Every structure is written in structure tokens, then in C-alpha cells.
Amino acid sequence: MFEINKVYSGDCIDVMKEFPEESIACCITDPPYNYEFIGHKWDDSEVKRRTKRVKDSKTMVKNIPYGSGLAGGVRNARWYEKNRKNDLDYMKWCQLWTDELFRVCKSGAPVAVFNSNRSIAHVQIALENSGFYTRDLLVYRRNSGIPRGLNLQGKLHKLGHPDADKWEGWHSAFRNEWEAVVIVQKPLTNNYWETLQKNNVGVFKTVNDDGTFQSNILENLSKKDKSEKYSHCTVKPLGLIKKLVDTLCPPHEENIIFDPFAGSGTTLVAAQDLGFNYLGIEIEENYIPIINERLESTNQFKELNPSLF
């Protein structure tokens, strides 16, 4: 039974098969990033194991296995071979959910997918193979970053190397303070106007309230509030997601905002705040009560403060 304004529990690949074709107006989602699972199989048990580790530690850094090379482990021929196999496995997994996503999206429906700068191409290729075409690649600048990689000076000091201080400031990677957001779209019905009349989607609101034109760099948006911070390991700020919803999907009573990797429910809360219908899927059962609680709290706030919405 297909119900709107609901969070479904389960694997999105399976749950989406129960959704009717051409039912989704817009999808904004933040799937697992490939570097979280280097060297591990892409299956439900591994996703849950890694998610639990991140949730328990409340940090992304501890979720990166030392032996992966991201934290300074060995990078020999075997590592590169293993890494490449993991990339291919990740792409195959992405293809499964992007195929179903294409089926359930309306013609002209936009899809925004977050991912890391090193894995966004894998997701983009899967989306294009499913039938979507790429509209743009947005940069979400976080104004902070996770220092990662090998500190060569520190490593050599631990080894007692006499030339350690000569390598001050040299590391194996850059500090990453941005995330990629690929914007794709299901092909239109002939043209933009015809698609908009038929499906209430197809064009973007790219002029800001102050009259400036929205660029493909997203920055200076509201940070996560304290209640969001640890509800999910990779939660995005509500202000950021509301900006994407407002930009990508014209307001209409029939439009549904969808997130197949709902996490703590930020996309769904953003949709509800802006007056849209929503649908979400989350594989981690522990997150379902968190999502429902956030949605209920937001709904109660709207009822008490209707003038703010």
C-alpha cells in the first residue's frame, strides 16, 4: 500500500519496488559514501555495522579503517586492487537503487545526491546509466573540514627518523571542507512548459530573495542545531536541505519530496516545513522513531505558529 507522508523501514531497493511509477516530484538524498566501506562488502550487515560504529563514536574519522590508506596505512599493489574492486562494487550497488529511483520519478523530476569528492563520479555514472541526465554539480562548502591523511613529520618522529622536521607541513591529503551534490533530472516531456503543466516539475528557482542569481556553490547556510548534531552520523543542516527543496521543486499540493536514505529525517522535515508531501525510507530501524519525533515536533510548532510558515 503506497502512503504519502510516511517513513518506510527497510532497504530502499526493495521498498521502492512497491512504489508506483512516475510518483515522485523531487528526490534529495545523502547515501552512504564509498570511503566509509573500503575493503568491505556492500551488504546490509556491513552497512549496519559501520553505521553503528559511527553512531557510537559520533565521528567520521574513526569510521575510516587505518589499513585503507586514508589514515596512513599501506598502499601497495594489493591495496589499489582492493580499492578498485570496492569502487566497482559500490557502483553496482548504486545502480540498483538508481534504477528504481528512475522508475518512480516523474518526467522532469530533479534528483540531488550528496557524496564525497572522490566518489561522486561513481554515483553520477550510475544515475546516468539509469536514464537521468546531469544538470549540474553543486559544491556544498561546510566552512570546516576533517584533517585526514598521513602527517609525514609526525610519522617519521615516531619512527625516530633524523630528518623528520624537514617534512613539517607535508601530508598525504588535503583537508576536505566541501561535499559534492550532483543534480540530475529525469528527461522532460517534450519541453519545460509542457512538463511543468503535466507534472508540476521541471524548472528551478534560481533567483534568490535578494534578487541575486543562485550559483552552484552552496555556502553561508545555517549550521546544524544542537538537537540534530548526533542524531545521525552524517546529518546535513536543515537550512541547506530547505534551500535545495525550495530551489528544485515548485510548490504544488501533489508534489512529493522523497529521500530513500532518510537517516535522521532532515529532508522530510524540510519538505514538511515548506508545505510539501514527503516519503522516506530508512534501513536502520533505530532511526525511525527519531524521524517521526522530529516530524511531529515540527508539525506541532507549525500548528502553534502558523504565521511563520
pLDDT in tens, 173-197: 888 888 999 999 999 999 999 999 9
273 within a domain of the structure (yes/no): yes
Judged by phi (left if over 0) then psi (alpha if -120 to 50, else beta), residue 207 lies in: beta
Range of the domain at 116: 6-308
Q: Please give the DSSP secondary-structure letter assigned to residue 260.
A: S
- Per-residue model confidence as pLDDT tens digits over 210-229: 999 999 999 887 665 555 55
Q: Does 179 map to a domain?
A: yes
- What is the number of structural domains in the chain? 1
Residue 1 falls inside a structural domain: no
Would you say residue 90 lies in a domain?
Answer: yes
Give domain status of residue 45, yes or no: yes
Helical (H) or strand (E) element with 112: strand 110-115
CATH of the domain at 225: 3.40.50.150
In a domain, 40, yes or no: yes
Classify residue 282: in a domain, yes or no.
yes
pLDDT tens digits for range 4-58:
999 999 999 999 999 999 999 999 999 998 764 444 454 555 555 555 655 555 4
In a domain, 216, yes or no: yes
